[in-house]
Amino acid sequence: MPIGHRRHLRVICSCDRYNYGDLLFPLISRQGLAAIGDDYEIAEYGLVPSDLSAFGARPSRGMKDLYRDVEAGDVVLLAGGENLAQTWFAMHLSLLDQDGAGQHVRLSERFGSSLAEWLSRRKMGGGQPFPYILGPDQFREPVRVMYNSMGGWPLRHFQPHKQKAITDSLQNASFVSVRDRESAAILHGIDPTLKVRLAPDCVFLLPELFPRDHLAEMASPAVRELVRKTGDFICFQCNSPYGDANREEIKRQLAILAARSGMRIVLAPTARIWPFEDHVFLTALAGELGNSAKVLPASATIYDVAYTLASGRLFCGTSLHGVITALAHNVPFVPLATSDPKLGNNIESWGLQDSFPMAAVADLAEQGFRALNLDRAWISDQAEGLRSAARDNMRQLEQAILAG
């Protein structure tokens, strides 16, 4: 390596679409791994090039760029998300609008999932069978590959040969950290020799890397004013499929919460990708709830979302990173149960299921009042324990990077 040449940490995640948690991973990685700055420059990659800087995100290059950019001595870091068991087809859908996604789904139904997967992989220039599973042998230069804050519950339903291909690739990684016990158990069930660290999601470090006062400075004037004028409030979020299926009950439960608590409701969309599109349902819901609710503006950035969640008295929602942001800032929460077990898997992994059980929509108000009455000192202790574990994991990752 030439004298004075700096290596790169090439951070890869689903940061090429507006999904709150995915857009945080590059920021958390960049700030949380600051100690490597003398040795490594950091660059971000999604599956396709993207610039969501208008929403507070880091611009990112694409998978084709990654293959070209990698140099000897680099570290390729898969930096979070439920991405151990993703497909090119599913990721492609999340990059399309409603019409485009519908057309691609119909193509899959007509010609088969294998062809649809191949077309999606080709569209995004993928050289590997799974979008977020990369091995050192897939690059022309010698590199190390690491994984942090990963999840992958759907892996349990993959065919055995696909499961083995994934764990075989993970065996060649220099660091593997998963964020829930279910993912760790699945990986160990496939390959008991695989070395996997279990640690809370790195977004638990948000209050340390971006303190609430800092979030306030980075939030838009409109959102700062909304938070100030609203006073004590309850924050609610859900995706459009869940909201459309439970619209009337959600309205009834939020009305009960608002009336009995004396607090207004702030609706905070966290996803703007097909098929979730929180903003579509929550904007309509705000109009139906009248003066008891406000919704974040369409221009809301990830800093606006984080500041709002950190400022509420209670968070209720389907979003894993909505829950993590709230709890990391010592805010109680009500996790809403959906068909996706990701949120429940994480809550059980953190040992919080007794105090914060998964809630059916009909139990939203009751569990909300219960959560509001939990001891705040206890919540603070739980949050600090999770932040500490996430901090230790980040230091271990830092050491693994610098050891090369």
| Torsion-angle region of 330 (φ positive above 0: left; ψ -120 to 50: alpha; else: beta) | left
Both 78 and 190 in one domain: the answer is yes
Both 178 and 259 in one domain: the answer is no
Residue 37 is part of a domain; what is its CATH number?
3.40.50
52 within some domain: yes
- CB–CB of 62/16 below 8 Å? yes
Cα 51 from Cα 31, distance rounded (Å): 19
Both 165 and 241 in one domain: the answer is no
Both 61 and 73 in one domain: the answer is yes
pTM: 0.96
Both 11 and 154 in one domain: the answer is yes
Assess whether the previous peptide bond of 59 is cis (omega < 30° from 0): no
76 within some domain: yes
186 within some domain: yes
179 within some domain: yes
Q: What is the pLDDT of residues 377-402, one digit of tens each?
A: 999 999 999 999 999 999 999 999 99
Token pair for residue 257? Answer: 């919460």
**Res 176 pLDDT > 70:** yes
Check residue 214 and give its pLDDT: 97
Q: What is the pLDDT of residues 30-52, one digit of tens each?
A: 999 999 999 999 999 999 999 99
What does pLDDT average to over the chain?
96
Both 201 and 226 in one domain: the answer is no
DSSP 87-108: -HHHHHHTTS-HHHHHHHHHHH
380 within some domain: yes
How much of the chain exceeds pLDDT 90, in percent? 97
Cα 352 from Cα 20, distance rounded (Å): 23
Both 37 and 150 in one domain: the answer is yes
Both 148 and 31 in one domain: the answer is yes
Instruction: Tell me the average pLDDT across 47-75.
Output: 97
Both 129 and 78 in one domain: the answer is yes
Cα 316 from Cα 336, distance rounded (Å): 7
2 within some domain: no
Instruction: Provide the residue range defining the domain that includes 356.
Output: 207-386
**Res 1 pLDDT > 60:** no
Domain count, the chain: 2
Cα 86 from Cα 325, distance rounded (Å): 24
For 57, phi and psi rounded to 5 degrees?
Answer: -85, 165
Both 170 and 300 in one domain: the answer is no
Q: Is 151 helix (H, G, I), strand (E, B) or coil?
A: coil
377 within some domain: yes
Instruction: Tell me the average pLDDT across 151-158.
Output: 96
Check residue 404 and give its pLDDT: 84
Both 128 and 262 in one domain: the answer is no
Across 42-46, 96-100, 218-222, 389-393, least confident range = 96-100
The CA-based angle 228-233-235, given to 5 degrees, is: 110
Both 184 and 123 in one domain: the answer is yes
1 within some domain: no
The CA dihedral of 346, 341, 324, 275, to the nearest 10 degrees, is 150
